[in-house]
Amino acid sequence: MVFRPENASPATQPPEVSLPDSGSVLIAGPTMTRKRRLMLSMLAPGERTDAGTVVVTTKKPAPSIARELSYISGSLPEQFEVIDTTSVADLLDDRADAGNLRYVSSPGDLTGIGIHLTESLREHYEASRSARVGLHVLSTLVMYTDLKRLFQFLHVITGRISAAGFTGVFTLDTGFVDERELALLKQPFDGFVETRDTDGDPEFRVRGLDDGPRSWTPVRT
């Protein structure tokens, strides 16, 4: 799997980071350290290897996420499944009538998110097609539900991803949790990508994976 830097085009040669073929990874760090772009860059290559891409968004509307994936991968936006929990479409009475977009009424509706995700995973599994699953951003869920319930949700979802042989990539803004809460939320994941802000480009490093930079590495534009 490959990280693509911010504003990368399909022709850009990104730094490579090896990630597990199945299981889930958490990308965590301060705001404005390109966690979403790192996540989408890990998910986007799936469309070129016949692996489906499913993203849960709690922050940006679904069409925006689909367009960003399209820009990074060079694939059409309609190829990406996006589950939108932002409520923006409902507030504007503007739910897109597209088969690749699904809607949940609120980021606090973990049951609704789980139902849509499970349906999508089942469809891919029964079609003998691999899938990559993304969730941006867990911090919103932290504000809508208690930590114990969120941990249980993550434990179930990451377990289903792993059992199906799929890959998951989730993001978290660390400014919304303390060290104890971060340690708890990291437990369901097989690997950890940490980001930090610097005077120049944001940097990242990998923990708990077989390969990848152990020291801080710039996320280059």
Binned average pLDDT, 10 residues per bin, the chain of 221 residues = 45 49 94 93 73 93 91 89 81 64 92 96 94 96 96 98 96 97 97 94 90 85 45
Predicted pLDDT of residue 96: 61
**Diameter over CA atoms, the chain:** 48
What are the structural domains of the chain? 23-44+53-89+97-216 (3.40.50.300)
pTM of the model: 0.89
172 C-beta neighbours (distance < 10 Å), count? 24
Secondary structure (3-state) at 162: helix
State the Cα–Cα distance between residues 83 and 94, nearest whole angstrom. 15
In angstroms, the CA 63 to CA 95 distance is: 10
The helix or strand, by DSSP H or E, that contains position 180, with its residue range, turns out to be helix 179-186
Q: Is the dihedral of CA 20, 25, 31, 37 positive or negative?
A: positive
Q: Given CA atoms 191, 181, 155, 107 in this order, what sign does their dihedral have? A: negative
**pLDDT value of position 15:** 36
Strand order of the sheet with strand 167-173? 101-103, 81-84, 52-57, 131-136, 167-173, 23-29, 191-196, 203-207, 217-218
Compute φ and ψ for 113, nearest 5 degrees.
Answer: -60, -45
